[in-house]
Amino acid sequence: MTLPVQGNEEGNKMVKALVVTGFGINCEEEMAAAYRLAGADATILHLNELFRERDSIRRYDILNLPGGFSFGDDIGSAKVLANKFKFKKMRSGKLFIDEIAQFLNDGKYILGVCNGFQALVKMGLLPNIGGNFEQEVTLTGNDSGKFEDRWVHCLVTPGNPTPFLSDPAVKGLDMPVRHGEGKLIVRDARIREAILEKKLNVLTYADRQGRPTADYPANPNGSELNCAGLCDPGGQVFGLMPHPEAYLSLYNHPAWAKKKRETPGISEEGEGLAVFRNIVSEISKKR
């Protein structure tokens, strides 16, 4: 089947973000809204449309895996979704993971939030130290033993390699978490050392004094390395447990009124929008 015809000339110049949905993903509208506010063209597409080759990730600049409860989290969060990505044969007989590998070889980008981050980890796309899509870390049950649905503060690791966090003015982000399995566990000491050496632990949970912390509740899950987000060595793949797409407006924040009183000239943009502005800007500069 032929692919959809792209839009007009002006539309073709826009950064194109593909936001996948289906199988229990439920944050696709917020993520698409984030890209549109950042100046990109966002398309929401059911994964089956890609598997049946009615469209292709090759037409897009950024592949996005939003949050949700794919397959009901019945066999570990996003494990079934990860296996679909990794082992699903498309209509042509090609493995979908090979499409992803080519997508990355073409210099394009992938973002996974919450359930999407879990899928990227279990597919082996993060941190992918070995470069062979072998799983090197996992995300498992929170130390609290319960679902955590509240706001946290995260620090951006200076000098990290991902353009999603490239703005030097953004040193920290408030964002909400909504997960029951967000605790990062690293497979072995070699992987842990590589993550630290390459600055792939790009977001860390922090207390209100701006100090990385393993202490609950500032660290909502007990992650090793206080990890809230990882990228791959090339910075093209970025995954995080907190939801930047849920903080697009200042008024999303539970303390927005206090922020306005303390800083009357504060921007009305939400801090999470910076993640999307950064990557759209990076891609636009390459055109």
Residue corresponding to tokens 């509208």: 29
Alpha-carbon gap, residue 42 to 40, rounded angstroms: 6
243 is known as an active-site residue = yes
Q: Are 249 and 269 contacting, i.e. CB atoms less than 8 angstroms apart?
A: yes
253 is known as an active-site residue = no
The active-site residue, picked from 148, 245, 253, 271, is 245
114 is known as an active-site residue = yes
Query: Buried b vs exposed e over 221-255: b needs ≥16 C-beta within 10 Å?
Result: bbbebbbbbbbbbebbbbbbbbbbbbbbebebbee
Who contacts 98 (Cβ-Cβ below 8 Å, separation ≥6)?
none
The active-site residue, picked from 114, 154, 227, 231, is 114
Q: Are 32 and 78 contacting, i.e. CB atoms less than 8 angstroms apart?
A: no
Alpha-carbon gap, residue 128 to 75, rounded angstroms: 22
The active-site residue, picked from 153, 179, 243, 253, is 243
Residues marked as catalytic? 114, 243, 245
